[in-house]
Structure 1
Amino acid sequence: MLEIDFKEIITVSMVLFAVIDIVGSIPIIVNLRAKVGHIESEKASIVAGAIMIVFLFVGEGLLNLIGIDVHSFAVAGSFVLFFLALEMILGIRIYRDEEPGSASIVPLAFPLIAGAGTMTTLLSLRSQFHTINIITAIVLNIILVYIVLKSSKKIENLLGENGLGVVRKTFGVILLAIAVKLFAANVKGLFV
């Protein structure tokens, strides 16, 4: 019943890492810290992980309640990933949130870590991967998010502005390829 597959865990972890883009968010995190002082890394990480896991289970039921199948949601999710990838690669902002007022759970856990792109991605991944592998990937990403939040200043100093840009663009290209694969795998399901 539990089909733990390390290849799936690595694939899903890479997808979530690219979508969450916590390394690319370091400038936002640093800006928040400068405005409000302390960042609640533990709370933000735990709440973001809880939001993702709950949505992984409740999201599909919610879709069924409003009459949308997983294939349609996955195709829609592939478009969201496509535009997120374009933002990362081209350095443009298609969607812009209002500037958060404090570095509490609200701007960090949601929408910065567990935002709309992450939610869409989770349901899209559920149509292709085993749930236990997705949960494992979520936990691994939350651990990484916590580490990055705790040491964001050191990472910023280490990579520099150019290094952060290279990381962001690299994961943007990976995310773009994943969006194309997700679209191709689910578009057939729309016509069955």
Structure 2
Amino acid sequence: MSFSDISIQELASAFMVLFAVIDITGAVPIINDIQNNGRKISAIKAALASYILLVAFLFAGDGLLNLFNVDISSFAVAGSLVIFVLAVEMIFGIPIFKNDGPSGTASIVPLVFPLIVGAGTLTTLLALRAEYHTINIIIALTLNIIIVYFVLKNVSLIEKVFGKGGAYILRKFLGIILLAISVKLFTSNLASLIDIFK
């Protein structure tokens, strides 16, 4: 990993993918409900916990894959299917992923788990590693966590700015972006897997 690997195109693409998967703006109504129910949310605690867990998984994920004898291309193909399902959920409004984490403090559960650091985000990180340089993913992730912190800190303001209609349109648009990216990930990594067996 070096600064010479920084690519604006990769950075922008990774940023958009992670922004769409984390979907913190789409989670604003959920965050508001949590706060309205008297559960306090620490924006800095949630953002830092999410960042540490995601960066750790970005680097430790390969080790976990090796433990199960799975290569990054195979994981990327599997990840593309998860991203595809996430996109379908966002576009068509079909609830597929369940928020079934254990009860606990609101800053960690359900905010960090599973809203920010969910199965989709973790899978996406490793899928991105098959396509982009690590430094671009880390910068994109850092920018996304800054946005997460800002949204959590100003959740009422964000809801007023976007409104229910704005959040709905943004979610559908990001869903279409995710769908296109999932197809790209699937086709490019499937091709590399086929080449291995030739």
- C-alpha deviation, 1:28, in angstroms: 0.9
- C-alpha deviation, 1:174, in angstroms: 0.4
Q: Is 1:153 the counterpart of 2:141 in the alignment?
A: no
1:31 aligned partner: 33
Q: Secondary structure at the match of 1:36?
A: coil
8 A Cα contact 2:76 2:126, kept in partner: yes
Q: Secondary structure at the match of 2:97?
A: coil
Structure 1 segments (4+ residues) deviating >2 Å: 98-102
Q: Within 2, Cα distance between the matches of 1:48 and 1:21? A: 14
CA RMSD, aligned part only? Answer: 1.3
Q: Secondary structure at the match of 2:110?
A: helix
1:103 aligned partner: 106
Q: Within 1, Cα distance between the matches of 2:104 and 2:94? A: 23
Q: Is 1:64 the counterpart of 2:73 in the alignment?
A: no
Residues 121-168 of structure 1, C-alpha deviations (whole Å, 9 max, x = no match): 000000110111111011000000000111111111222111110010
TM-score normalised to structure 2 length:
0.93
Q: Which amino acid aligns with 2:56?
A: V
Query: Unpaired segments of 5 or more residues in structure 2?
Result: none
1:163 aligned partner: 166
Q: Within 2, Cα distance between the matches of 1:114 and 1:98? A: 13
8 A Cα contact 2:151 2:158, kept in partner: yes
Q: Within 1, Cα distance between the matches of 2:124 and 2:130? A: 10
Query: Unpaired segments of 5 or more residues in structure 1?
Result: none
Q: Within 1, Cα distance between the matches of 2:86 and 2:97? A: 9
8 A Cα contact 1:36 1:103, kept in partner: no
* % same residue: 52
Structure 1 residues 137 and 190: alpha-carbon distance in aligned structure 2, compared to 1, 3 A threshold: same
TM-score normalised to structure 1 length:
0.96
